A and B are shown apart, each in its own frame.
Chain A
């Protein structure tokens, strides 16, 4: 199985801050990496696929980068509605595996 490790597990930030979350795969997954946002009591929502492609309807302040084993999700200017938990997920092979999540909290 490919293990996905996110860092940090949680962070505190203020509205307007630039936020970066990293995700590392235990082996190369080329660009087969997705990012999801989950708010309390809600299903995950796809933000980014194939490492850097923005899902339709997702604000442009979200961006993704990386390839191989190291990936980054960046929120350029944090908005109140962005406080949530973020998960990376590899789509290179089964079993489909997720990172443990990064909770973004209000500072």
Chain B
């Protein structure tokens, strides 16, 4: 059973960098999946941030692309998110998730529990 677990600071100062890591267990990150970040501001809907393949290839949401970096660490079976120049609008629960991509099947099938990141001084 695949499990994902987010970790990182829960509080980030405005103009700073938000950094989160997602540890993957129960399966190798070096397989036919993309590894994604999705966020949800308090009381609002879901927003896809981007994803990374084990080769290092990435897809980013154009609305965040200038500020986002997603990377993979195969040796530790984890992947990471960095979001620069954060503002209060970046306050959200951040989820990592696995994106099934192949055989004409495309969906998020496993999710982490989510971690709340608050941007405040």
Contacts and interface: CB of A to CB of B under 8 A. Distances in A.
Majority secondary structure of chain A interface residues (helix, strand, loop or mixed): loop
Nearest to A50: B105
A84 to B, nearest CB: 14
A91 B61 contact: no
Interface stretch (B9-17, B69-77, B83-91, B110-118): B110-118
Nearest to B104: A50
A32 to B, nearest CB: 6
Contacts, number: 54
A94 interface: yes
Interface in B81-109: 95, 97, 99, 104-109
Interface in A18-44: 32, 34, 36, 42-44
Given A44-B46, A101-B45, A95 B108 contact: no
B45 A99 contact: yes
A101 B106 CA distance: 20
Interface residues of A, number: 23
Contact of A98 (B45, B59, B62, B104): B45
A95 B48 contact: yes
Contacts of B46: 44, 87, 89, 98, 101
B63 interface: yes
12 contacts: A43-B111, A44-B95, A45-B111, A49-B106, A91-B107, A94-B61, A96-B48, A97-B48, A98-B45, A98-B47, A101-B45, A101-B46
